Amino acid sequence: MEVAILTVGDEVLAGDIQNSNATWLAGRLSELGSTVVRILTVPDDRDLIATTVADWGDEFDAVIVTGGLGGTHDDVTIDAIADAFDRGLVVEDTVQRDVVRKAAEFRDLDPETTSAADIDLDVPAWAALPTDSRALLNPEGLCPGCVLENVYVFPGVPAEVKALFELVASEFDGDAITATLYTDVPEASVVDALPEIQDHFDVIVGSYPSTDDHNRVKIIGTDDDEVTAAADWLGERLPLIEGR
């Protein structure tokens, strides 16, 4: 399963915050057997987001979008997603009730008796989602996520991204299998062995040097026996560090 990750936010591009969402999502998707084929960060630009999502939705199996959801002036992602699919926006009753309940809890009000009229909050700005999208109620925050066809949309707060992704994690099961090996030999010695391993086995191999830790070799394939055999073959040619 090929997945593209689009992170949205002027603050990410300015270096004000780290793009930890993309790193975490890429790692989690790899664990599930999916293959991340694109990671891109764009500003809070409605037209650019819409165009990118429309293009990627046709090109890849799934697209994950994070950031730019909510009720502030620069939160344009939901509007852009609706534009990409030529949809309007709607506030579902279930989503509105959840947003009002969360807002009441944040303000130490009784969520059972508080109504939308009782809180100073632009509920539609926080609760509106594209027509016919699947709402993802947010376990960690106020703003919901959603799924529209093969596009998954999450808020930008890392804890909320993680919680919402786990609601749909089973939908990203793929057939990619990985093995990660560690060695203390210089990268030049590792690189010499890589072309040959791919001549013998139907796998993809990457070498990742480190100045702080052991050098890492990652083997990726779609057949467990093939990946295991490739790892064994490499272990016969490089001194590996066990227990990693």
Angle between helices 224-235 and 187-200 (to 10 degrees): 140
Predicted pLDDT at 57: 96
Spans of all domains in the chain: 2-172, 177-235
CA 191 to chain centre: 30
**Average pLDDT score over residue span 29-40:** 94
What gap in Å lies between CA 233 and CA 179, rounded to an integer?
12
Architecture of the domain defined by 2-172 = 3-Layer(aba) Sandwich (3.40)
CATH, domain range 177-235: 3.30.70.1120
Using left for φ > 0, alpha for ψ between -120 and 50, and beta otherwise, residue 54 falls in alpha
Q: What digits encode the pLDDT tens for the residues 153-192?
A: 999 999 999 999 999 999 998 888 888 888 887 776 677 7
Return d(Cα 89, Cα 161) in angstroms, integer: 22
Pairing of strands 204-208, 215-221: antiparallel
The yes-or-no verdict on residue 194 having pLDDT over 90 is no
Q: How confident is the model over 106-145, as pLDDT tens digits?
A: 777 666 666 666 677 788 888 999 999 999 999 999 899 9
pTM recorded for the entire structure: 0.81
